[in-house]
Structure 1
């Protein structure tokens, strides 16, 4: 569930599809729903808590907390609280996470 990195549109679907053969469709759907909610809550927490995350954990922490949203949805918040010099790093972080989500979700679902 955590390997979705706030990429709720694909991670919940992948988890449901990959886990259905091993645990059944009912449990796989429940796990996919948990992943969806966890990813949405992560993004909301990163958006609302960006100033607190920055204050207590450092200037790069909002980028990490944002997950995949660091490249788009949370970029304005990251820029505001971490500074404009954090924008290129936030975009690169978002792109790398975007590429890695299908790999990590598949890896952890097959364990």
Structure 2
């Protein structure tokens, strides 16, 4: 048991009262629509520029690879022919033999030419 008694004191407002609260609705100043339009337009313009710049580079790389493969294709075909002629021949009508394929890209190049 506590051996002393504490006097109970109620909290009171400060002298003169509390300051008034502003509870009225305040709205943020809106961003003009032209700023939003300009921002969206600039982001889209930059993205389109980057996309088409990359597309030009990609097309150039693909064209270079097509030219490179078309140059090397006769050499690969000759190598496959030499390997075929050096191998013992079997009757192709009674086996599952098929001519060696150079690759799908080379076949596609042959079709383009």
Give the TM-score normalised by structure 1: 0.34
Which structure would you say has the larger RCO, counting Cα contacts within 8 Å and 6 or more residues apart? 1
Say which one has the larger Rg.
Answer: 2
| Greater helix fraction, Structure 1 or Structure 2 | 1
Give the TM-score normalised by structure 2: 0.34
